[in-house]
Amino acid sequence: MFSTGDQTPLAVIVRNLSVGYDESLILENVSFKVEKGKIAVILGTSGCGKSTLLKALIGLVPPKSGEINILGEEIGTAGYPLSLRKKMGILFQASGLLGSFNVFDNVALPLRESTSLPETWITEIVMLKLKMVNLEDHAHKMPSELSGGMKKRAGLARALVLDPPLLFCDEPSAGLDPVTAAELDELFLSLKELLNVTIVVVTHELLSIERIADRCIMLDRSVKGVIAEGTLEELKVMDNALVRAFFERKPRFQPGS
């Protein structure tokens, strides 16, 4: 659970990646890189394959072809190295809390499964993480008793409980109020600055992107892959109609036309 400072400056490298279900390909020939200690945002309109890309990165969908390198470990079509799973935290869109465990046990689960710490230490680590997301008073509640934002924060505490050097988030601010969403953004920034965590966020919240993104990777359905990559400023001045439409919040087709 300690992250060593190995020297490669890249946390995620994706080369010519193609992902799909059954016969149809959702992503074709996608390539990009994420530097260590930076926040990369994968953005795009609905249905462009953002979530599929994330699923491929965390090993839920095997790639059809191409390579993924995460923290120096190669992931081909062969399979996903288990040791890598301990090095990354994942915040799911619907938080992915186990309904039969309370918040405390949900957050403690990775510690109990992959470390041999005594229960007193587990308690303190879990409470520390819950404090970080302001949920320390709700430790004994079941996920069904939590609001959407609280569930998301509990999911984040669980994703961070092993101090992973790499964090993946699927639409962290979807369904959250602006205040909670802003708090989440600040949390991401402090994780990056203080603990040097690399964060890959899938989102389409413009405000959130502006606040946290070091690098943007924009996908689109039309090319089944990356249409633009760079800093937010670079993307904003790009001459691509699809990129412009995204940042100017323009509809692609007018209703009634």
Partner 1 sequence: MINKPLQGMSSKILIPNGDQLSFYFYEPPPSSLLPGLVESFGKIIQVRSISKVNILIGEGVNLNTMLFLFTLKIEEICRSKGITLECIIEGENNRQLIEIFKLQYQKISFSQKPSIGERKYGLIEKLGRTALNGLDSCKEAFKFFLDQISAIAKAVVNPRIIRWQELAYITEQTGSRAMPIVGIMSFLIGLVTAFQAAVQLRQFGANIFVADLAALGLSRELSPLITAILMAGRTTSAFAAEIGIMKINEELDALKVMNVDETQFLIVPRIMGALLTAPLLTVWSFFTGLTGAMFVAFASLEVTPVSFLTEAYEIIKMSDLWVGFLKSILFGLIIGNIGCYMGIKTAYSPESVGRKTTSSVVTTLFLIIVADAFVTVMAHVFHW
Per-residue contact string for residues 71-100; x = within reach of partner 1 by CB under 8 A: ----------------------------xx
Q: Are strands 73-75 and 88-91 parallel, antiparallel or unpaired?
A: unpaired
Q: Which is nearer to partner 1, 118 or 255 (CB)?
A: 118
- Residues 156/187, Cβ–Cβ less than 8 Å: yes
Q: Which of 196, 207, 210, 237 binds partner 1 (CB under 8 A)?
A: 196
Nearer to partner 1, 135 or 202 (CB): 135
Residues 40-69 that bind partner 1 (CB under 8 A): none
- Closest to partner 1 by CB, 124 vs 234, is 124
Query: 36: number of CA atoms within 13 Å, CB side?
Result: 17
Q: Nearest distance from residue 158's CB to partner 1, in Å?
A: 13
Q: How far apart are CA 188 and CA 68, in angstroms?
A: 24
Cβ-contact 215, 35 below 8 angstroms: yes
Residue 45 near residue 221, CB atoms below 8 Å:
yes
CA dist 58 to 76, 122, 123, 131, 225, Å? Answer: 12, 25, 28, 27, 18
- Minimum CB distance to partner 1 smaller for 63 or for 165: 165
Interacting residue with partner 1 among 144, 222, 254, 257 (CB under 8 A) = 144
Q: How many CB atoms lie within 10 A of CB 175?
A: 15
Nearest to 156, CA basis, from 106, 86, 206: 106
Q: Closer CB to partner 1, residue 124 or residue 186?
A: 124
Nearest distance from residue 118's CB to partner 1, in Å? Answer: 5
Question: What character string, x for contact with partner 1 (CB under 8 A) and - otherwise, covers 101-140?
Answer: -x-x----------xxxx-xx-xxxxxxx-x----x--xx
Q: Which is nearer to partner 1, 145 or 210 (CB)?
A: 145
Rg (CA), the chain: 19
In the complex, least distance from residue 7 CB atom to partner 1, rounded to whole angstroms: 11
The site map against partner 1 for 200-229 (x = CB under 8 A) is ------------------------------
Contact 91, 151 (CB under 8 A): no
**CA-to-CA distance for 233 and 214, rounded, in angstroms?**
10
Q: Which is nearer to partner 1, 31 or 115 (CB)?
A: 115
Residues from 1 through 30 that contact partner 1 (CB under 8 A):
1-5
**37 alpha carbon, distance to own chain's centre:** 14
Binding-site ranges for partner 1 (CB under 8 A):
1-5, 99-100, 102, 104, 115-118, 120-121, 123-129, 131, 136, 139-140, 142-144, 161, 163, 193-196
